[in-house]
C-alpha cells in the first residue's frame, strides 16, 4: 500500500481510526483519558499514515519555523559542506537553522519533509526522483534547485541556480584536446540509487560531449564512457579492461576530484605516468586536489556564490518580494584551475 505524499493531518488520522479529531489530540498530547481500544486504533492509524506530531510547528502555527532543509547527494565530501557553511553565515544573522540531509528516494523520506514544516527547501541532489521534487514544489514550500542537470519536466514556482558546469566541462575537454589527447575517458559517479538519472541530462557530461562533437572526436576511436562501477576496485577493473581491449587511455575527465584521483592512482599502478602519458582533470577544486602527486587540474565551482544566491532568493521568497526572471534563474561561472596533472 502506497503511503500518502502530503502532510498528514489529525483529521486524516481520525478518519482512519474511526474517531474524532479531538480524540486524536488527546492521544497525541496524552492529557485526557481515552478508551484503550480507541487509543490503540489512533496509534495504529498514526503509524500507517506516518503521522508525526510536531510540537514546535503547532506552537508556531501561522508563523515561520525558521528551519531550512538542504538535501544533498553526499554528506561526506566537502563540496556541499562548503556551500552549507556559506549559507550558515546568513542563517546565523537571520535567526535560521539549516538542516543538511542526504537524499533518499522513498515515500517515507518525503513524508518526513512534509511533517517537519520547513520554511524552505534547497535541493542539491542529482539522484532525487523528479516526481518527489515536484511533490515538494506542489506543497508551495519555497524551493531552490541547484541545477546540476536538466529539469525540463519540473514545473512550478521555483528558483534555479546553475553553477556553470556545462561551460566548465567544455573548458575541461578543450584543455585535454589542446594537449593532443586523442583517447579520452569520461568517468561517471559510482553506481547508486539514481532512479531518474540519465547521463545525457547531466550538464558535465553534456558539455564535455558537445565539445568532443564540435572537435570531431566523439567516436569509438577517441572516446569512452566509464560508468556503472560499484566501488574503487571495480573502477580499476573497468579501466584495465578498457586498456586490455586496445583503447590506450591518454586523457581522463572525472565527474569529481575524488573520482579523478582514484583513476589516477589506478592508472599509475598500471605503469602510466601523469601527465607524461595521461592528462587528468577533476571537478570541485577540493583541498586534496592541491596535495596529490601530481597536483590535480580541476574545475572550480564558486560555492560561496552558490550559498549566497540560495539564501538571497529564499529570503525574498519568505518575504513575498517581487522576483524577476534573472533572479529566479541564476547562472554562475566556473573556472578551470590548471595544475600538474594536465
Cis previous bond, 275, omega within 30: yes
In this predicted structure, the answer to whether residue 196 has a pLDDT above a threshold of 70 is no
3-class DSSP assignment, residue 301: strand
Per-residue CA distances from 211 to 176, 178, 243, 281 (Å): 11, 12, 24, 15
Residue 289 · residue 257 · CB < 8 Å: yes
More confident residue, 199 or 83: 83
Q: What pTM, to 2 d.p., does this model score?
A: 0.80
Instruction: Please report the pLDDT score of residue 2 as a whole number.
Output: 42
Instruction: Please report the pLDDT score of residue 66 as a whole number.
Output: 87
- The most confident of the ranges 8-12, 114-118, 128-132, 291-295 is 291-295
Percent of the chain with pLDDT over 90: 63
Q: Which of 196, 199, 278 is nearest to 243 (CA)?
A: 278
In this predicted structure, the answer to whether residue 321 has a pLDDT above a threshold of 70 is yes
CA 31 to chain centre: 42
β-pair type (223-226, 184-187): parallel
Distance CA 70, CA 237 (A): 35
Cross-strand pairs, 234: none
Instruction: Give rounded-to-5 percent helix, strand, coil for the chain.
Output: 45, 15, 40
| pLDDT tens profile 131-186 | 999 988 888 889 999 999 999 899 888 999 999 999 999 999 999 999 999 999 99
Instruction: Please report the pLDDT score of residue 9 as a whole number.
Output: 80
Distance CA 136, CA 130 (A): 10
CA 88 to chain centre: 18
Instruction: Please report the pLDDT score of residue 181 as a whole number.
Output: 96
In this predicted structure, the answer to whether residue 322 has a pLDDT above a threshold of 60 is yes
**Residues 6 or more apart whose Cβ sits within 8 Å of residue 96:** 66, 67, 68, 90, 119
More confident residue, 259 or 319: 259
H-run or E-run covering 159 = strand 158-162
Instruction: Please report the pLDDT score of residue 190 as a whole number.
Output: 76
In this predicted structure, the answer to whether residue 238 has a pLDDT above a threshold of 50 is yes
Residue labelled with grid coordinates 492521544:
27
In this predicted structure, the answer to whether residue 202 has a pLDDT above a threshold of 60 is yes
Domains and CATH numbers, the chain: 10-53 (1.10.260.40), 67-162+303-332 (3.40.50.2300), 165-301 (3.40.50.2300)
Residue 330 · residue 160 · CB < 8 Å: yes
Residue 189 · residue 255 · CB < 8 Å: yes
Q: Computed over its alpha carbons, how large is the radius of gyration of the chain?
A: 24
Instruction: Please report the pLDDT score of residue 60 as a whole number.
Output: 46
| pLDDT tens profile 270-287 | 999 999 999 999 999 999
- The most confident of the ranges 26-30, 228-232, 263-267, 314-318 is 263-267
More confident residue, 217 or 191: 217
Residue 224 · residue 185 · CB < 8 Å: yes
C-alpha grid cell for residue 330? 541564476
Amino acid at each position: 500500500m502506497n503511503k500518502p505524499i502530503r502532510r498528514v493531518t489529525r483529521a486524516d488520522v481520525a478518519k482512519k481510526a474511526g474517531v474524532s479529531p479531538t480524540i486524536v489530540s488527546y492521544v497525541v498530547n496524552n492529557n485526557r483519558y481515552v478508551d484503550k481500544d480507541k487509543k490503540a486504533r489512533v496509534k495504529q492509524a498514526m503509524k500507517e499514515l506516518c503521522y508525526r506530531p510536531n510540537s514546535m510547528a503547532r506552537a508556531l502555527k501561522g508563523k515561520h519555523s525558521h528551519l531550512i532543509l538542504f538535501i544533498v547527494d553526499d554528506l561526506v565530501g566537502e563540496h556541499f559542506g562548503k556551500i552549507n557553511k556559506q549559507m550558515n553565515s546568513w542563517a546565523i544573522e537571520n535567526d535560521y537553522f539549516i538542516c543538511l540531509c542526504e537524499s533518499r528516494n522513498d515515500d517515507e523520506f518525503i513524508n518526513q519533509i512534509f511533517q517537519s514544516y520547513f520554511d524552505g527547501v534547497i535541493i542539491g541532489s542529482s539522484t532525487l526522483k523528479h516526481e518527489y521534487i515536484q511533490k515538494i514544489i506542489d506543497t508551495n514550500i519555497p524551493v531552490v534547485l541547484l541545477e546540476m542537470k536538466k529539469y525540463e519536466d519540473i514545473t512550478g514556482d521555483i528558483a534555479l541556480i546553475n553553477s556553470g558546469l556545462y561551460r566548465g566541462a567544455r573548458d575541461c575537454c578543450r584543455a585535454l584536446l589542446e594537449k593532443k589527447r586523442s583517447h579520452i575517458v569520461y568517468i561517471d559517479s559510482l553506481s547508486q540509487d539514481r532512479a531518474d538519472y540519465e547521463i545525457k541530462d547531466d550538464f558535465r557530461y553534456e558539455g564535455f560531449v558537445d565539445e568532443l562533437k564540435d572537435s570531431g572526436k566523439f567516436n569509438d576511436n577517441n572516446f569512452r564512457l566509464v560508468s556503472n562501477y560499484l566501488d574503487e576496485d571495480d573502477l580499476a577493473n573497468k579501466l584495465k579492461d578498457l586498456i586490455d581491449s586496445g583503447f590506450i587511455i591518454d586523457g581522463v575527465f572525472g565527474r569529481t576530484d575524488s573520482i579523478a584521483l582514484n583513476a589516477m592512482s589506478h592508472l599509475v599502478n598500471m605503469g602510466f605516468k601523469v601527465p607524461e602519458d595521461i592528462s587528468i582533470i577533476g571537478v570541485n577544486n577540493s583541498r586534496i586536489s592541491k596535495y596529490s602527486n601530481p597536483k590535480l587540474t580541476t574545475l572550480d565551482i564558486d560555492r560561496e556564490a552558490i550559498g549566497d544566491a540560495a539564501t538571497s532568493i529564499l529570503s525574498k521568497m519568505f518575504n513575498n518580494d517581487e522576483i524577476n526572471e534573472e533572479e529566479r534563474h541564476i547562472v554562475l561561472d566556473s573556472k578551470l584551475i590548471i595544475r600538474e596533472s594536465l
